[in-house]
Structure 1
């Protein structure tokens, strides 16, 4: 994970404000399962704080101290209690089990090595109560988009946002795709009118292909029970943008 990219929780939330449909999906999953909820890579609590506000006991595990601080602020503003734990999703032991574990918003894709992904799934398996589920979402890789990662810096107009201190912030990204590692290696440039390239941060994200994901889960002691292609639970298909997986102990 790029520490620099996640060093400013407020800036991260303005750059990635979250998806209301995704939040609703995970809240519904928590309501369906009941009991205690664990989120891995919980970030600034965009998913977990709303779940906690519904009355579910929640724990968030996050590697970045800055993101944890942002999550604590979000929970305090909402007036909800969440247990925040600094830890690494590749291997963790919280000493108890949970009724629902979630890995949302492509957080799993910060793990680049197959061994790290399997280690994560094995840790999740040890933390699942009887009948519990792991629910995760990752993007469905597009070969066309990966082929366009040519290293050229381009403006991402859809990612522009307004910062209260900096004004309008524009985002440029230059990416290359390492096919052997299945990792997109990018450099993100954030610029305001007064400060060009005020933030330059690397971001490396793995691709997990549709036939690969169930195999990795199986190696971790889990199996896919359901897989959807969007937040409305449309069955997964080759042209879906997302892989939304509901998993159980194998």
Structure 2
């Protein structure tokens, strides 16, 4: 589950600071479907806190204690009430239902086997209120990019960030792709000008291909009703970077 990668929540927020369009999309989905919202893999609350600020009763389930602690801090700072729950989406059992369940920012891809994925989706189905929806986003796998995952360490320029103590931090990544498992296994190396490799964190991410996704949802008791290729709700196409999916009980 790549626990070490999520052990420093503030580093995570510096590494992935954007996502305003994604936040706007999920806020609109919460308004569209109304009622209570559950986010699985809620991280530091980047999406759920704004949804709660709009007046929706919100629950965030997160496995990492560090991410959960930062989410609590940020919500308190903004004066927003969210129910934060430490837990694993593979073992979801909250004993109640929700009008909207969200699995954002590739969080579903930490589940590496089909059994884990289907089990999670079946649990989501049980947690949906009548008329409820699941909305998720995962990347659209690029065969070209997967083929480049050759284990060579390369600089990831887009991931450089400024740390208040270390200054500019550079990020290198070395990845390999296991085609049989559909899992990319990588090591992320964080270095400053004065401290090389002060953190080396593994990250493993599953790929879910476009024809595979509706089948997994169906096995989980869900049906894909909308699939967008970007946050402006353009139709999903072969070259889209994202698969943004709206699902309902089958």
TM-score interval (norm. to shorter):
over 0.9
TM-score (norm 1): 0.99
Any unmatched runs of 5+ in structure 2? none
| Residue 65 of structure 1: aligned partner | 65
> 1:139-150, aligned counterparts within 5 Å?
139-150=139-150
Cα shift at 1:112: 0.2
Paired with 1:17 and 1:51, the residues of 2 have a C-alpha distance of: 18
How far apart are 1:91 and its partner, in Å? 2.2
Pairwise CA distance, 1:104: 0.2
2:75 is aligned with 1:109? no
Task: Tell me which residue corresponds to 1:165.
Answer: 165
CA distance in 2, matches of 1:33, 1:3: 32
Q: What's 2:134 paired with?
A: 134
- Secondary structure of the corresponding residue to residue 99 of structure 1: strand
What residue in structure 2 maps to residue 44 of structure 1? 44
Equivalenced residue count is 250
Alpha-carbon distance between aligned partners in 1 of 2:170 and 2:146, rounded to the nearest angstrom: 23
| Distance in 1, Cα, partners of 2:96 & 2:3 | 29
Contact kept, 8 Å, 1:160 with 1:168, in 2: the verdict is: yes
Contact 1:18 1:46 in 2 (8 A): no
Measured in 2, the distance between the counterparts of 1:200 and 1:209 equals 29
Q: Say if 1:171 and 1:188, in contact at 8 Å, map to a contact too.
A: yes
Give the whole-Å Cα distance in 1 for the aligned partners of 2:72 and 2:139.
27
TM-score, L = length of structure 2: 0.99
The one-character-per-residue Cα deviations of 1:25-55 (angstroms, maximum 9, x if unpaired) are 0000001111000000000000000100111
- Deviation, 1:195, is 0.9
Tell me, what secondary structure is at the counterpart of 2:131? strand
Give the equivalent residue in structure 2 for 1:246: 246
- Deviation of residue 2 (structure 1)? 1.1
Which runs of structure 1 show a deviation greater than 3 angstroms over 4 or more consecutive aligned residues? none
Give ranges in structure 1 of 5+ residues lacking alignment: none
Q: Distance in 2 between matches of 1:106 and 1:13?
A: 15
